[in-house]
Structure 1
């Protein structure tokens, strides 16, 4: 499985808009650069005409140009290490790679080797959800991370004292990477399964469910999350733009979920909902 790297040059106000739009085209990983951002997608999912159509919609409003490069799977870590810096979430969470110096004085240190998986802590959605996890008691609770990518949110849940953590993703590469990252953090997950939440037909209930995906998937799957969520349980959602929050909340309210807290960073929203019986 090889990847396509897109190096996008654009005006700063359009960076987050284009990232959100490209997320809908199955791009998985984004890195900010001085001139715009880099985006990565599996080669078999890449549609050059779809990308050109997207950029053409915005070219009347801003300058956009881009470069394409194919990256073999085995070269991904080398590319990633050139750009990856450790992340601090306030003074409570420190996310680093194995080649970064440890910070034992930070209460929650997470070690990530993301390879090609989404969820390194750099993106605003992951960063916000990590911060929101600090606001909800995880001790003794069963946690499910849907669309887990690197497994970073499930790892955070375990470090916050969760009784058990489980993870799902549709991508075999993410499954492999999440398992590696659980091992790096000395965490034994209840399971890491491949498939959509519809396909997996999970039978257990969870006090906390985490889903950092995108608007379309969240709207399609939220009813399933709600079925798996225990009464008075908490559902963490992100991966959507502030312009989509009304649609997300309309669906959530129809299912008996109420907003507990939300944050917004660079127009990306992270949301905590509670199941009201």
Structure 2
């Protein structure tokens, strides 16, 4: 698949402004992000890219900073080579879970090892939200549980849930790349109890789940929380991430509106993972 890379140069440049910019681009449909010394790089399938996206009011009328853009077509290629050279470094989470790519060698031993062939799907663990979700899974008792991984990306959360004893994992992502990548990564890690589907929350309705993970951007969470709540068993829990600390009140209010009780949250560099119980 051909991608369009948009290099975004915020002026003034700061960590906070980069975080705001990344969130805004995520809401506009950009799927993957990386950073250089002077830019945020955002990736979107070329079939979904329109120049009008860069003229969105949230970008051009932001009172905190201005943005200069530079676009580049990224042809279909060997994404392993791209990630190996530029983005994906081995990561050890809580000294218990090692996340690496097939090309990483001489990595430390860990209780859990997940091999991710990332291609263009989000979820290598290097982003704060994925790290927070993995940390949460490492603290859970998942033996015999029915698990849902919404917005599965590379499938990393569902794969770890399976390794942690989940009986069945349902993994859903709207992106075709993520759907295929989750299937590939499940096979690489010899995980056979993951049912992968391409789509959105509209696929839910019949099954019930003990645990739900939803590492998705803020607006999608606000839209789909009622659906997630409807497929949760009694006493089930949901962990949501993909948003900033300042978005937590809105997420919590919507969760409580649909019958979910807050059960704490963790924060990492202003990104949040919040837990709710039905």
Normalising by structure 2, we get a TM-score of 0.92
Tell me the alpha carbon deviations over residues 53-73 of structure 1, each in whole angstroms, 9 at most, x when there is no partner. 444334x64464332111112
Residue 143 to residue 129, structure 1, CA distance change in 2 (3 Å): same
Displacement of 1:173: 1.4
> Which consecutive residues of structure 1, in runs of 5 or more, have no partner in the other structure?
none
Matched, 1:194 2:198: yes
In the TM superposition, what are the counterparts of 1:141-180 in structure 2 within 5 Å? 141-180=145-184
- Name the counterpart of 1:264: 267
Tell me the alpha carbon deviations over residues 155-184 of structure 1, each in whole angstroms, 9 at most, x when there is no partner. 111111111112011122111100000011
Provide the secondary structure at the position in 2 that maps to 1:73.
coil
Contact 1:110 1:152 in 2 (8 A): yes
Provide the secondary structure at the position in 1 that maps to 2:61.
helix
Q: CA RMSD in A?
A: 1.7
Q: Distance in 1 between matches of 2:200 and 2:61?
A: 31
Matched, 1:249 2:252: yes
Q: Distance in 2 between matches of 1:180 and 1:4?
A: 24
Matched, 1:98 2:82: no
Displacement of 1:95: 0.8
Tell me the alpha carbon deviations over residues 187-237 of structure 1, each in whole angstroms, 9 at most, x when there is no partner. 013411111121x24412111111111111111111111111111111010
> Which consecutive residues of structure 2, in runs of 5 or more, have no partner in the other structure?
none
Contact 1:168 1:194 in 2 (8 A): yes
Tell me the alpha carbon deviations over residues 95-125 of structure 1, each in whole angstroms, 9 at most, x when there is no partner. 1100012646211111101111111111111
- Name the counterpart of 1:123: 127
Matched, 1:111 2:81: no
Normalising by structure 1, we get a TM-score of 0.92
Q: Distance in 2 between matches of 1:27 and 1:77?
A: 20
Provide the secondary structure at the position in 1 that maps to 2:152.
coil
In the TM superposition, what are the counterparts of 1:80-99 in structure 2 within 5 Å? 80-83=83-86, 84-99=88-103
- Name the counterpart of 1:16: 19
Displacement of 1:267: 2.2
Moved over 4 A (4+): none
In the alignment of these two chains, the number of paired residues is 273
Q: Distance in 2 between matches of 1:129 and 1:75?
A: 28
Tell me the alpha carbon deviations over residues 138-166 of structure 1, each in whole angstroms, 9 at most, x when there is no partner. 11111110111111110111111111112
